[in-house]
Structures are given as C-alpha cells and as structure tokens.
Amino acid sequence: LGSSASALVGAIYIANYFGDIQLSKHEVLQLATEIEGHPDNVAPTIYGGLIAGYYNDVTKETSVAHIDIPDVDVIVTIPTYELKTEASRRALPQKLTHSEAVKSSAISNTMICALAQHNYELAGKLMQQDGFHEPYRQHLIAEFDEVKTIASQHNAYATVISGAGPTILIFSRKENSGELVRALNRNVVTCHSELVDINVSGVKERIVYQ
C-alpha cells in the first residue's frame, strides 16, 4: 500500500515546515524519489490521484503525469500476514526477453489509454494480463485466486496485486461494491476487505498541536 512512501513524504513535509526550507511540491517529489529509488508511490502520495512516473537515474530527473480519477470503486483485501518487499522482489525474474518486454509495455500503454477514455472494461481486462510482476508474485498470496474468483462473480472490472503485495486491489462497479465487500469478508476469513476512498489532492499540511 505504499506505507514507506507515505512515511517518507510525511517526514519530508515535517522537516520542510519546521525547518522553514520552503521546498516546492516538485522538489519534495525529487527528493523523495531519490531516497525511495522510484516515484511509483511517492508521486501519488504528494499529488493525489492516478499518477504515472519515471525516474531517470542518469540525469536524476523525475517526470510524472496524471489522468482523471476513474469512475470506479476501489476495494482493498488485506491478508493478516506480512509479505516482505524483499521476498516479493526476489520472486521476480532478473531479465525479460525483448518480446516479453514489448508485449507487457504494449499492455500497460493501452491500459492507461483505456482508463483515460473511461473504458473500464478494456482497462480491467488489460490489467489482468500484466506480464511484468503478477505472474511471478501471485503464488506468494494464498488468497489471490479465491479473491479474484469472488470479484469476478460480482462482475468486477479487475483484481490485481497492489505493488509487491500482499494487499489485493479490486476495481469494482459502484453498484456491486457493497455486496462484494460483504462476500469477501464472509468467505475469505484470512483477510479483511473494505471499500476505500481515492485521495485526489495528495498530502496536506495541518498543525494538530503546537
């Protein structure tokens, strides 16, 4: 769920405020990306919404772009156990063939375009054809197949692994979300499922005690 990114961005904002450093949002992004190693989670933490990002480790430049928030519900299914990021990374292959990389990149690019066009049927179909990480990691999450089956029975758009796992994300039709959450909590007893809100504005400064 990007907890390390949230903690990192929070720490930078605290230092920025109390140190009167006056970093811009982009400067916070740049610093957080250099520390984290990629903008995948720090960028949406800072800006909110649906963000794609790239970090050039040669020029040390971070580029981000966003699209409108999809008109879908997001359900998280969280197992009771921890899955270390290091263990999840070890499950990934060291190399992909050129043809595998081209195929997976084409899937990702088309999926982003489908989201931008609000074609959630196509976007969901493509999400579930990922070739970069999910085929190698799903065996680490015992409940993944069961959750995916239940979500499919409730006509969800897609069921995917959130980052390195073990949290599972479901992109659901709004009219089906309530019953889907109940079905998941009723049947997948080793996990907790809930409907979550999408933060569209990113991190905010608020002094609660001074």
Q: What is the pLDDT of residues 49-73, one digit of tens each?
A: 999 999 999 999 999 999 888 899 9
Name which of 23, 46, 22, 50 is nearest 36 in CA terms: 46
Helix (H, G, I), strand (E, B) or coil at 33: helix
Choosing from 24, 48, 66, the residue where a domain stops is: 66
Residues 40 and 107 in one domain: no
Residues 158 and 56 in one domain: no
Residues 43 and 77 in one domain: no
Cα-Cα-Cα-Cα dihedral sign, residues 172, 178, 179, 181: positive
**Is residue 12 a part of any domain in this protein?**
yes
Residues 162 and 93 in one domain: yes
Residues 186 and 98 in one domain: yes
Domain at 16, CATH number: 3.30.230.10
Q: Which domain holds residue 171?
A: 73-196
pLDDT in tens, 75-123: 999 999 988 878 888 988 899 999 999 999 999 999 999 999 999 999 9
**Is residue 94 a part of any domain in this protein?**
yes
Residues 123 and 62 in one domain: no
Pair 44, 137: CB distance under 8 Å: no
Domain at 117, CATH number: 3.30.70.890
pLDDT in tens, 18-52: 899 999 999 999 999 999 999 989 999 999 999 99
Residues 23 and 51 in one domain: yes
Residues 84 and 54 in one domain: no
pLDDT in tens, 142-162: 999 999 999 999 999 999 999
> Into how many domains does the chain fold?
2
pLDDT in tens, 147-200: 999 999 999 999 999 988 899 999 999 999 999 999 999 999 999 999 999 888
